[in-house]
Amino acid sequence: MKLRDTGKKLLLIYQSNSGILTAVITIYCIGDWIIHLLQLITVFYVHTLLIADLLIYIPAVVLYCCCLKEMSSKKKVANVLCILLYPGLILIDYGHFQYNSVSLGFALWGVLGVSGHWDVLGSLAFCLALNYKQMELYHSLPFFCFLLGKCFKKGLKGKGFVLLIKLACTVVASFILCWLPFFSEKEQTLQVLRRLFPVDRGLFEDKVANLWCSLSVFLKIKDILPHHTQIIISFCFTFLSLLPACIKLTLQPCPRTFRFSLVTCALSFFLFSFHVHEKSILLVSLPVCLVLSEIPFMSTWFLLVSTFSMLPLLLKDDLLMPTVVTMMAFFIACATSFSIFEKTSEEELQLKSFSISVRKYLPCFTFLPRIMQRLFLISVITMVLLTLMTVMLDPPQKYPDLFSVLVCFVSCLKLLFFLVYFNIVIMWDSKSGRNQKKVN
């Protein structure tokens, strides 16, 4: 209806000298044609998205889950179902019409490759993901550190050096092939780079659940600090927050540390880097999906929060009902498949080593599982209440974005909590992947 009304106004202005009857007939004919065309475009989007999922993303998810050790076939099927039911990716790709599953699918093929000792093929797959969508830079440092750690482990004077040369040649060759069409003119190449890295567009995009958007409620960073200073500060915060995980991954390269490093590095980029979009949280959600079978309680919680953090964007696209339905379906699937509420012990939360370390100084530190359960309950209640307030209440005229800002601020606090949690899991993981579920 909005399209038809806009078309009426434009055509009435355009045909003001052509007669009322002609204008009216043309309006309705072209209006119907535009609506029909949009319907065809929508069908095209949905079908191409489905084909991309069937060819790239879904096979990678199925293969990843099949390669998990110490899991029954029934659990593997349940893991596939839960990952594919993740509401954030479904809503953004099929509701917001984007092809995120293509880049995420290639990235997952890269994870499978480098975790299964097919390092060259894994590097090629990740290069395809990175060249398809530059936001895959969120995952680039874990890939780099993991492969570099492998080279160090094999010895840079022997097999490690050969592997390093192979990887370097693969990356350079794949980038040249992908960028070859843009090398014809220098200005064209620079224009593409400016589009890929839009540093002139500001510190953050719209209402995003990261640190800078949340701080802007109290401190207008965009107005106070010069543009170049904002870039430097965001770089420093991002670099320092991901440094511990990257150092450990380089020194102890193993698939388990690699998967958790993908989570922490992507989350650091989302929370602290420059010019972040709401839907960039999907880049954090993919590696969290990969550890869903290892820490089902925390992973399910995070994936619900990540979808909730995009609520302002989803409401703009009139996706309230699909959001509620998909989130409930995902939660029920995870709760029944993994019995998440029964897996909140220190060992199931991967916090046993950390708790033992703390108990050396605080012997009474035995209440961590209970705290996690209560925090989860509080988190769900706040998400439900904020959703109801956003949908049912009108914000004050003085603060029209009140509810959207509250959603972003609350989501940011939760994501900061998850950043601390996943870093603790990495730094206190003494097993370094032994006796854990891992990809062969």
3-state DSSP of 343-389: CCCCCCCCCHHHHHHHHCCCCCCCCHHHHHHHHHHHHHHHHHHHHHH
* Local structure of 439: helix, strand or coil: strand
**Predicted local distance difference test score (pLDDT) of residue 37:** 67
Rounded CA-CA distance 2/4 in Å is 5
Q: Is-contact 305 383, C-beta < 8 A?
A: yes
**Predicted local distance difference test score (pLDDT) of residue 76:** 92
Rounded CA-CA distance 250/142 in Å is 9
pLDDT tens digits along 170-224: 999 999 998 888 887 777 777 777 777 766 677 777 788 889 888 888 888 877 8
- The residue among 283, 350, 378 whose CA lies nearest residue 89 is 283
**Residue type for position 55:** L
- The residue among 104, 126, 123 whose CA lies nearest residue 60 is 104
pLDDT tens digits along 101-148: 999 999 999 999 999 889 999 999 999 999 998 889 999 999 999 999
> 152 vs 31, which has greater pLDDT?
152
Q: Rounded to an integer, what is the distance from CA 219 to the centroid of its chain?
A: 27
Sequence-separated (6 or more) residues with CB below 8 Å from residue 211 = 237, 271, 272, 412, 416
Sequence-separated (6 or more) residues with CB below 8 Å from residue 332 = none
Rounded CA-CA distance 66/18 in Å is 67
pLDDT bin (cut points 50, 70, 90) of residue 10 is very low
- The residue among 341, 404, 411 whose CA lies nearest residue 383 is 411
Rounded CA-CA distance 375/378 in Å is 5
Average pLDDT for residues 223-234, to the nearest whole number?
Answer: 86
Return the number of other C-beta atoms located less than 10 Å from residue 262's C-beta.
Answer: 28
pLDDT at 437 over 50: no
pLDDT at 245 over 60: yes
Instruction: State the residue for tokens 């790239």.
Output: 56
Return the number of other C-beta atoms located less than 10 Å from residue 239's C-beta.
Answer: 14
Instruction: State the residue for tokens 């191409």.
Output: 48
According to DSSP H, which parts of 85-199 are helical? 87-95, 100-115, 119-132, 140-154, 160-179, 186-196
**Predicted local distance difference test score (pLDDT) of residue 26:** 52
pLDDT tens digits along 156-169: 888 889 999 999 99
Length of the chain in terms of residues written? 440
**Predicted local distance difference test score (pLDDT) of residue 366:** 84
**Predicted local distance difference test score (pLDDT) of residue 431:** 57
**Predicted local distance difference test score (pLDDT) of residue 47:** 80
**Predicted local distance difference test score (pLDDT) of residue 430:** 63
**What's 440's DSSP letter?**
-
- Strand extents, DSSP E, 187-230: none
**Predicted local distance difference test score (pLDDT) of residue 373:** 93
**Predicted local distance difference test score (pLDDT) of residue 28:** 54
pLDDT bin (cut points 50, 70, 90) of residue 1 is very low
What are the φ and ψ backbone dihedral angles of 183, each rounded to 5 degrees? -90, 0
pLDDT tens digits along 332-380: 999 999 988 888 888 899 998 898 898 888 888 888 889 999 999 999 9
Q: Which of 148-152, 215-219, 318-322 has the lowest mean pLDDT?
A: 215-219
**Predicted local distance difference test score (pLDDT) of residue 295:** 94
pLDDT at 267 over 90: yes
> 77 vs 437, which has greater pLDDT?
77
pLDDT at 12 over 80: no
Q: Is-contact 395 402, C-beta < 8 A?
A: yes
Q: Is-contact 78 337, C-beta < 8 A?
A: yes
Taking phi over 0 as left and psi of -120 to 50 as alpha, with beta for the rest, 318 belongs to left
Q: What angle do CA 224, 226, 232 make, to 5 degrees?
A: 115
**Predicted local distance difference test score (pLDDT) of residue 33:** 64
Bridge partner list, 276:
204
Cβ-defined contacts of 366-375 (< 8 Å, 24+): 369/344, 369/345, 372/297, 372/298, 372/344, 373/341, 373/344, 375/417
Percent share of the chain, pLDDT over 90: 55
**Predicted local distance difference test score (pLDDT) of residue 18:** 44
pLDDT tens digits along 26-85: 555 555 666 666 667 777 777 888 898 999 999 999 999 998 887 888 899 999 999 999
